[in-house]
Structure 1
Amino acid sequence: MDGTGQQLEDPWQFFDGKRIESHGTIRFPVKPDGETLDFTLASFAIPVVHERVVDLFLHQRVQDVQFIPVEVEGHKGPYFILNTLRTIRCIDDARSAEVQYFTPEDNQPERVGEYRVVSGMRIDPTKVGDAQIFRPWGWNVALIVSEDLMDAMEAVGITGTKFEPV
């Protein structure tokens, strides 16, 4: 919800890899209430993190992120949307278990050539460079962190994360 209590007009904006201007105070209702975590995915898989994650990212000098303050109903914060500002064309189609692309037959001409399915994703590490956190071009539902950042998150006990090698 935005500052006026209305649903956000475009929740997918948090997957575009672009800095976002303030919408006022964004509020997340919590249903059902559960365990408080440092990292969680809200509606539409929007990453929401506790201040502990922000502090760690600052300590690790993580670039290419924006932290947008939010309120999480019934939970002491501060909390933030983790908006990743970097997208890298790095999916290794040959090494991934399955990739499918939109075709003209899918009747979505604006998406022809984009990924329709990616499973068992593997990336080409030579295309990633020194990126510590990013989304892969064409499959921005994935959020990828470097091994160093993963190790740092695990070392300080950041809760709510689940890492899979890509």
Structure 2
Amino acid sequence: MDFTSSEAYGVPIVSARMRNALGNPPGVRFLNARIEGQDESDRYFVLLIESTVECVDESHSEFEQFTVDDPVRPDKAGQFKAFFKLVLDKAKASASGRPIFRLARFDLAIIVNADVKRAIEEARVVGAEIEEV
């Protein structure tokens, strides 16, 4: 497995192969991770994506947002709760200059540009699911 995420918080974990495919993009760090039960020769890393970009095209997306009276997470009022259809404002995404980033107000999604997508596909990594938005 070259890409997975932790069950508890959705922290992305990548293999050395995935790390090599990604290179050293701005706004991304790789932290060494020790995986119990894995051979020490297999290297894994926490994929820390520090960049967030406000680029959701709300007029063409379908989503639900947290509200101030949300019974579970009122602290997230105004943030996206779920997307049924996600459309990005490609101009804003591109203007960020970040090949990999998370969406502002919805940090579960990881967005990659076409070059990163191509590198991941060419490396034939296992576990990464890429959808065009």
Q: 2:3 aligns with which of 39, 44, 48?
A: 39
- Structure 1 unaligned runs (5+)? 1-36
Residue among 94, 99, 107 paired with 1:140: 107
3-state SS, counterpart of residue 108 of structure 2: coil
Whether 2:123 is the aligned partner of 1:156: answer yes
After TM superposition, the score normalised by the length of structure 2 is 0.85
1:109 Cα deviation after fit: 4.9
Q: Which of the numbers 68, 74, 77 marks the counterpart of 1:104?
A: 68
Percentage of pairs with the same residue: 29
Could you tell me which runs of 5 or more consecutive residues in structure 2 were left unpaired when the two chains were aligned: none
**CA–CA distance in structure 2, aligned partners of residues 49 and 103 of structure 1:** 34
Higher RCO by CA contacts (8 Å cutoff, separation 6 or greater): 2
Give the 3-state SS of the residue equivalent to 1:94 in structure 2. Answer: coil
How far apart are the structure 1 equivalents of 2:82 and 2:67?
Answer: 12
Deviations 1:10-55 (A, max 9, x none): xxxxxxxxxxxxxxxxxxxxxxxxxxx1111222221101111222
Bigger Cα displacement from structure 2, 137-146 vs 113-122 = 113-122
Shift of 1:123: 0.9
Alignment equivalent of 1:124, drawn from 89, 102, 109: 89
CA 48–99 in structure 1, closer or farther in 2 if over 3 Å, else same: same
Q: Residue 100 of structure 1: CA displacement?
A: 2.3
Q: How many angstroms apart in 2 are the aligned matches of 1:89 and 1:148? A: 20
**Following superposition of structure 1 onto structure 2, how do residues 1-166 of structure 1 map, counting pairs within 5 Å?**
37-43=1-7, 44-58=9-23, 61-76=24-39, 77-96=42-61, 98-106=62-70, 109-129=74-94, 130-166=97-133
Cα distance in structure 1, aligned partners of 2:74 and 2:35: 39
- Structure 2 contact 3–127 (Cα < 8 Å) conserved: yes
More strand by share: 2
Question: What's the offset of the Cα at 1:72?
Answer: 1.1
The runs of at least 4 consecutive aligned structure 1 residues that moved more than 4 Å come to none
What is the root-mean-square deviation in Å for CA atoms of aligned residues?
A: 1.7
| Shift in Å, 1:105 | 3.3
Greater Rg over alpha carbons, structure:
1
